[in-house]
Structure 1
């Protein structure tokens, strides 16, 4: 790849080169050797991705799994799989969210560095949109798990239903939801920001509910979910994510 220095490398090329997955490594190296602007951008990207790769993975005690299942054995069957999935995924979810937001911030900065190159700016905007799209799609899928658990919960047999798992999960999701909503608004993706704002209200209701709820309180929570139509909106958004992710591939195939 003999790339003139005025045609700067894209963020995708730099990321692939960093992970040794570039199809034309020699060409990228040649360009970086001749282009100071891309060289500086790559060094900046290195610092960002190095910090992401060095994120600490929480250490779990040797008896973590035993203690986890012991705590879950007393719960209803429908709650075991949900709680276990979330507790085991949570460290990875947090790390992935941080990585996505750091990379999105890097891409935003790169776009602002070269405002005169309109074509490059449009390309960077597309990359940012795809990064945010995938991140929000995953976040909504996790949020949907909580909403479905509550929407499908049976009437409490003992007068009250323990929703402490959903409550704590909603609290964790709220932190990520605020970050994604702010990122979407900053990127000008107002439909996504609006959906996340609606979801935030429902997550707040769940997080601020008692850890055990009566049949009436459970029905009130269900009504909140139904009245806002949040489950329907999340499903529609999920379909749109799949279509928008497939669009670039279809466009590329059509141009062949």
Structure 2
């Protein structure tokens, strides 16, 4: 089943002509949950954008850059976050309900993902190619060709580079639910990512049939990011390099 997504529209100028203009939404009194709401809104950025957007209320200032955030259902920008935080612009009622009901579970999941010290990437390709790559936070990488066991490779990269692989993968895919695991072909390949703390599974990200384009592209972008660090055929010359 295709997942739905909802763009947060919060003012006349920002997606909903039926709402008041942004200047009319400024409020002196903050939301009763002002401590929780900005924390929830800033917790997870899924797309960083290079642009800038001027503050309609104070045009000499920048209100945001258009970076996109998500909790897996709702999508919003840093522009929205800053209007809420700076001017107490109200959060749409249905989205606010979701924030209140979802806050604790989201916070706990973030805490778990901070414990991840190992990422396993499994690939089942269309043309008799199947492999598993295990990336440890200490820099150790295990590569196993599941068809050619004699091609197993063990080598090491520096910790910083390992972090550059693990952290974005955990961060970029965090917001998507993982309750309905299934097989999704990403350009003809079946991928599965497993986030672990030692031998404990923290989370599994795996596509389902009928993926919507946003989630499909999100999974694909993380896979491609990891693959830039891991050559498709490493070869024996790369074994045990420090």
**Which structure shows the higher strand fraction?**
2
Greater RCO (CA < 8 Å, at least 6 residues apart): 2
**Which structure shows the higher helix fraction?**
1
TM-score over 0.5 (shorter chain): no
Please give the TM-score of this superposition, normalised by the length of structure 2. Answer: 0.30
Please give the TM-score of this superposition, normalised by the length of structure 1. Answer: 0.29
